[in-house]
Structure 1
Amino acid sequence: MGSTDKKVSVEWVMPQGQPECSIERVERALGMLEGRWKLLIVHHLLVRQPRRFSDLERAIPRVTQKMLIQQLRALEADGIVRRIAYPEVPPHVEYELTEAGVALTPALNALHDWAAGTTSD
């Protein structure tokens, strides 16, 4: 029995006037944002930044502390979030979006609009 990737092919057709899109670029972008909490973190930082860790914890009550830390570290490693540590006692750490993170605004607005159109009120 052969694998399905040889039987099924998808052809991507760009709208007229649009530059050709690389599937690898899309996969890389989605990889940076995959995870249950990353888009919510970016959303909350778009609404108000900078934000302290505890502010994000309160804004996303279902996320565990461990998962929030992991997701913030991953977003920081991908250049979407910037961590600012102030040399104080007790430690004061804030998070804000980088230029790349702010560039996600149109995509999140489109996602918001799409979600508003798919829900029944």
Structure 2
Amino acid sequence: MNTEFEVDGLDSIFRKLQNMGKEGAIIEDKSLMESVQPVLEDQENTTMFKDRTGNLRRSLKISKVKKVKGTKVVWIGDVDKKANYSWYIEWGDSKRKPRPFMRQSYDRNKNQVYQRLKEAIENNLQK
């Protein structure tokens, strides 16, 4: 699943981080990973599907920060593809209805992620 999260209002802070060079990039990456924790926790605690083996819930995690088309991104979910069926749970298939736990966890937590991102950047800048 691919969801973009625009961070409006933080442009000047991100520019400052970019001007800091490598240290700023480390702070930015750390802050991004910290801020999406509520989405991961929401996915782990969802009731949208039964996880009889526990494999899918154990496979859920936050990816390392990557650059895609010049934008830093993190993925949340089965990033190592240890439970390849997460896609079918999210989107369904010819025999099963979709149970969109990834999108819903993002939608429920996006405001909190934005707030946590601002706080994480501020805290990490002060260290």
- Shared fold by TM > 0.5? no
Higher relative contact order, chain-length normalized (CA < 8 Å, sep 6+): 2
TM-score, L = length of structure 1: 0.28
TM-score, L = length of structure 2: 0.27
Please tell me whether Structure 1 or Structure 2 has the larger radius of gyration of its CA atoms: 1
